[in-house]
Homo-oligomer: A and B are copies of this chain.
């Protein structure tokens, strides 16, 4: 195959450095550095000369070089388990806003909910020497988290971890699940099924919350759980599974909004009315749930707050203001919409 002769890399000229600026402004590189960093103790005359040289040369400080000598990057690594789930959009936006305030850059990454890929994503962030790591609902093993903690402050969002080294911000999944179940029960439902999140982060606690609430309400005999894996299709399949049951559940509590929407689709396809025949509750209260056409009753999780809190945890540790773990739990609330309603009157309980 005819190979073109090696072409030089894109850069037409190598970019100007601090030395070029210094030469042009007729001062030392140190002085230029001071101006760039906004230190005082520089004469007005020289400051202006430097400023102008920078302008003329179109100089841009090299953050890489700075990071090397300072041994900090002012960058935060964020590993998001699922970029498509709008809940994480909220989380990210909370992180970003707070990070910008605090003068940090944010580097995103994802492993697409695959543990191995997530591990690689984390490793890759660590190689970049991020100053801190935020893991949003990671699916990796606790040992991976502990390993990361040895290098850098870590905060885990929305996932319970036995790793003692990291901070965490979660919502109270137990309470949230209770809210959902109790809401259904208060509407007269007794056969309340759960579409769970499988191995996903937080899924187990929500499942436990569901079980505990059912028990507390004396509905232990009606417990019914199908795996939905936190995805729309998972929720869809799970709901189809539930529809094979007899008697049918009259309410479904899905472990997140996305899977709840999958369930809604399955119900509609089966010709069942929501909430007439089956009520559905989601979790996360994403923008999806709020869409008037969907109007999904959902447990509100305040993703942006979670992101913001996570950012604050990291910041405290980076600044060295704290070295003991902090575990923040935000309380969920229930947002009632039109996907839930009274249990159908003809529903013959089988208790």
- A129, B10: Cβ atoms under 8 Å? no
Interface status of A127 (Cβ within 8 A of chain B): yes
Q: Per-position contact with B for A31-72: 1 when CB-CB < 8 Å, else 0?
A: 000000000000000000000000000101111110110011
Q: Known contacts being A68-B68, A268-B292, is A129 close to B9, with CB within 8 Å?
A: no
Interface status of A14 (Cβ within 8 A of chain B): yes
| Chain B residues positioned under 8 Å from A323 (CB to CB) | 7, 10
Interface status of A187 (Cβ within 8 A of chain B): no
Interface status of A4 (Cβ within 8 A of chain B): yes
CA distance A67 to B287 in the complex (A): 40
- B318, A292: Cβ atoms under 8 Å? no
- B151, A15: Cβ atoms under 8 Å? yes
CA distance A294 to B289 in the complex (A): 12
- B129, A110: Cβ atoms under 8 Å? no
Interface status of A273 (Cβ within 8 A of chain B): no
- Residues of chain A at interface, number, CB under 8 A: 62
| Chain B residues positioned under 8 Å from A216 (CB to CB) | none
Distance in Å: Cβ of A281 to nearest Cβ of chain B? 16
Contact of A126 among B60, B265, B288, B317 (CB under 8 A): B60
| Chain B residues positioned under 8 Å from A23 (CB to CB) | none
Q: Per-position contact with B for A1-44: 1 when CB-CB < 8 Å, else 0?
A: 00010111111001100000000000000000000000000000
Interface status of A107 (Cβ within 8 A of chain B): yes
Distance in Å: Cβ of A11 to nearest Cβ of chain B? 8
Q: Known contacts being A89-B84, A150-B58, is A71 close to B320, with CB within 8 Å?
A: no
- A96, B68: Cβ atoms under 8 Å? no
Q: List chain A positions with a Cβ less than 8 A from chain B.
A: 4, 6-11, 14-15, 58, 60-65, 67-68, 71-73, 83-84, 86, 89, 92-93, 96, 105-110, 123-124, 126-129, 147, 150-153, 232, 261, 264-265, 268-269, 287-288, 291-294, 317-318, 320-321, 323
